[in-house]
Structure 1
Amino acid sequence: MANSLVSIQILPKPTDGGDVIPLVDEAIRVIDESGVKYEVHPLETTMEGELSQLFLIIEKMNERMIEIGCKNVISQIKVLYQPDGITMDTLTEKYR
C-alpha cells in the first residue's frame, strides 16, 4: 500500500509568455507515464505512491518544463505521509 499522497499545482512560465495549458498537460503526461495512481482536479493533481517515488516524479515534471522552453517553474506541493499506508479512496470514499 502507498505511504503518501502528494498534490501538486505546477505553474510553468513559458519564455514566450504563451498559454500554459499545453505545458500543464505535458506535466500531467509525465505523471501518467510514471505509472502511479493519480487524479486530475481543477487546481491540482494528486498522486498516490511511495514518497520518494512521488518526489522523483515532481523533479521530472519540473525538468521537463525547462526542456520544453519554460524560463522557470513554481510547484506548490501538499504532502500526506502515513507510513502505515494511505490511499485517495480512504480519504474520499464517504463523499462518493
Structure 2
Amino acid sequence: MANPSFPHLRSFRLAVLALSLLASSTVWAQKAQQQAASAPFPPANGGHVIAEIQVIPRPAGTADDRYKHVDAAIAVIQSSGLRYEVHGLGTVVEGPPEKIWPLLQAVHQATLDAGAERTLSIIKVSSGSQPGGPRVDDLVRKFRQ
C-alpha cells in the first residue's frame, strides 16, 4: 500500500534543503544586524556559546528564487564575522554569548524581512560555566577526516 501524501511536508523539505545553500545577498543581513545590535540582552560573562539554528519559513522562497527567505537568514550569519558551518539541517555558529543571542534573533527576523509569511526557528544552544566553553572542533574532531 502506498504511503499517504502530506503536501505540507513538501514545504518543510524544501526549507530544510535550502539551509545548505549559501546566500548571495546581504541586504537583509545588514538590516537584521542593525536590529541585533540594539537588542536588549544582558551582558555576558565572557563565555563561549555554540548554537545551531534551523529556520523554516513559509514559503521557503518565491517563484523566482526558491530559497530566498532561507538565503536571507544564512546571509545574516555570514555577515556576523563569527565562525559558522552550514549543514543540511541547520547552521552551527559559535562565539561569545553577547553576539550569539542577538544573532539568533536577527536570523529569525531575516526570513520575515525577506518576505516570508511566517517562520519557525529551531534553536539549540550549548555553553559552559567556565570561560572558553565548548568548541565545535572539540566536539567533532575525532569524527572528521
**Shared topology, TM-score over 0.5?**
yes
Moved more, 84-93 or 18-27: 18-27
Q: CA RMSD in A?
A: 2.2
TM-score for both structures, normalised by structure 2: 0.59
- Following superposition of structure 1 onto structure 2, how do residues 7-86 of structure 1 map, counting pairs within 5 Å? 7-14=52-59, 21-84=67-130, 85-86=133-134
Inter-CA distance 46–15: structure 2 relative to 1 (3 Å threshold): closer
Larger radius of gyration between Structure 1 and Structure 2: 2
Find the counterpart in structure 2 of residue 88 from structure 1. 136
Between the two proteins, what is the percent identity of the paired residues?
Answer: 32
Contact 1:12/1:70 (8 A) holds in 2: yes
CA offset at residue 89 of structure 1? Answer: 0.2
- Measured against aligned partners, the alpha-carbon deviations of 1:33-61 in whole angstroms (never above 9, x if no partner) come to 01110001110100001223112111111
Contact 2:61/2:67 (8 A) holds in 1: no
Contact 1:5/1:46 (8 A) holds in 2: yes
Q: Give the aligned length.
A: 96
CA offset at residue 16 of structure 1? Answer: 7.9
Secondary structure, aligned partner of 1:34: coil
Contact 2:57/2:111 (8 A) holds in 1: yes
Stretches of structure 2 that go unaligned for 5 or more consecutive residues are: 1-45
TM-score for both structures, normalised by structure 1: 0.85
Stretches of structure 1 that go unaligned for 5 or more consecutive residues are: none
Q: Distance in 2 between matches of 1:64 and 1:24?
A: 8
Contact 1:10/1:76 (8 A) holds in 2: yes
Higher RCO structure, 1 or 2 (CA under 8 Å, sep 6+): 1
Inter-CA distance 17–79: structure 2 relative to 1 (3 Å threshold): same
